[in-house]
Amino acid sequence: MRSGINKKSSALTGIDRKMLYATIVLVALGLVMITSASQIVAHERFRSAYFFMHQHLIRIALGGCMLILFMKFDFNRYQKFSTWMLVASFILLIALFICGIRVRGAVRWLRIYKLTIQPVEIAKLTLIIFLAARLTDARQRIGEFKNGFLPLLSICIAMAIMVALQPNFSNAAYIVGFSFILFFVGGCRIHHLALSGLTLAAAAVPILWKQDNILERINVLFGWTRSSLGPSYHIDQSLIAHGVGYIGGRGIGGGLQKFYFLPDAHTDFIYSIIGEEMGIIGTTFVLALFVLILVRAVSNAHRAPNDFGYLLSLGLGCSLFLSAAINMAMTLGIFPVVGLPLPFISFGGTSLVTSLATVGILLNISSQGKDGGRRMARTPERKTKKKKVYAVQSRYVRRKK
């Protein structure tokens, strides 16, 4: 019986070491910065300056185990079980409305025994796997709107609506965004994507317009609202952190914004603490590591052994980079304040574990890459014709012999 563990990737030969090393550096840097950014809050709440550091170490250990497990597990097996994985994610999202934990007016966390998880992080990962599998299976129908594109789009919208009802509009928009990226790469027609995007935007604007917190964030983004203790407080303090850090920073542990000036310093705004304590050198270094992971994911996608691996590598790599880019842009005031953590660095168990699992899948794809490279054709009809011509030529050669 064939094993689900890929023999080739069981040894560390063949995996993308650059991606692995970049991930390790980001996780290590995250541990250092969480320790620095959370000491004041941890001592005040839990009487231990290293409470969040100890919690994060446990999550790093769990995430490391997930990375190794997913790195050794053959990624092709996900294609068969992608639908059930997506169904399980929907069940977790539904469970939020039944027994979810409300924090700051939103129900985003679910307690399972002694574990507290954020189902949307799991749902985003399974949705990428599902879309990659379905786009691969439906290559001949994906150009059709009714039988190919619309069913997949409906699933993405259904998940986005469930996430928005928590409420979690940032992750809902994020789900739609990376879904459209996969649709484009997977061969969907551009006019289908354009019309669907415009329709969704037209339907979402009136709903979002009624959300006061979203309007406040948009006003802050464009500078229409400025108040030292008002809606712009988060961004103002974040920009102060980046500004005082300048080029070399104050030094690790020497930042002042974590003294209750900058909210969520060890979670959503940890990139600001990096800017304050490590300066432009530190923030640029972090950005360069995420760019490296994206570049390696794209490179491994072109070397993937099949179309499913191509789409999966592109989808997962773009997902990690997009999340990081949005978080960085948010702390710099060029994007509205959203609840997307910085992968590998922000304090958060589900985000860290799923991010490391994502890298594990990417490493497994890289271990099965072919040196010759391949690229998924956006026009399956043209690819089919080439196969037919090759078959005719082969028969002709044999007949001539």
pLDDT on residue 383:
43
pLDDT on residue 397:
38
Higher pLDDT, 264 or 10: 264
pLDDT on residue 381:
40
What are residue 100's DSSP bridge partners?
Answer: 110
CA distance 219 to 60: 37
Q: Look up the pTM and report it.
A: 0.88
Task: Please name the residue that has the structure tokens 């760019």.
Answer: 291
Percent of the chain beyond pLDDT 70?
Answer: 87
pLDDT category at 154 given cuts 50, 70, 90 is: very high
pLDDT category at 228 given cuts 50, 70, 90 is: low
DSSP for 203-237?
HHHHHHHT-HHHHHHHHHHTTS---TTSTTHHHHH
pLDDT on residue 392:
35
pLDDT on residue 93:
95
Determine if the peptide bond prior to 151 is cis (ω within 30°): no
Q: Which tens digits make up the pLDDT trace of 50-71?
A: 999 999 999 999 999 999 999 9
pLDDT on residue 226:
64
Across the chain, what does the average pLDDT equal? Answer: 86
CA distance 140 to 308: 15
Name 100's Cβ contacts closer than 8 Å, sequence gap at least 6. Answer: 107, 108, 109, 110, 166
Name 99's Cβ contacts closer than 8 Å, sequence gap at least 6. Answer: 110, 111
Phi, psi of 108 (to 5 degrees): -125, -10
Q: Which two tokens stand for residue 365?
A: 């794809």
Percent of the chain beyond pLDDT 90?
Answer: 67
- Whether pLDDT at 28 is above 50: yes
- Please, is 24 exposed, middle or buried when counting C-beta atoms within 10 Å of its C-beta (0-12, 13-18, 19+)? middle
348 backbone φψ class: left, alpha, beta (φ>0; ψ -120 to 50): left
Q: Which two tokens stand for residue 297?
A: 């994911």
pLDDT on residue 219:
81
C-beta atoms surrounding 26 within 10 Å: 23
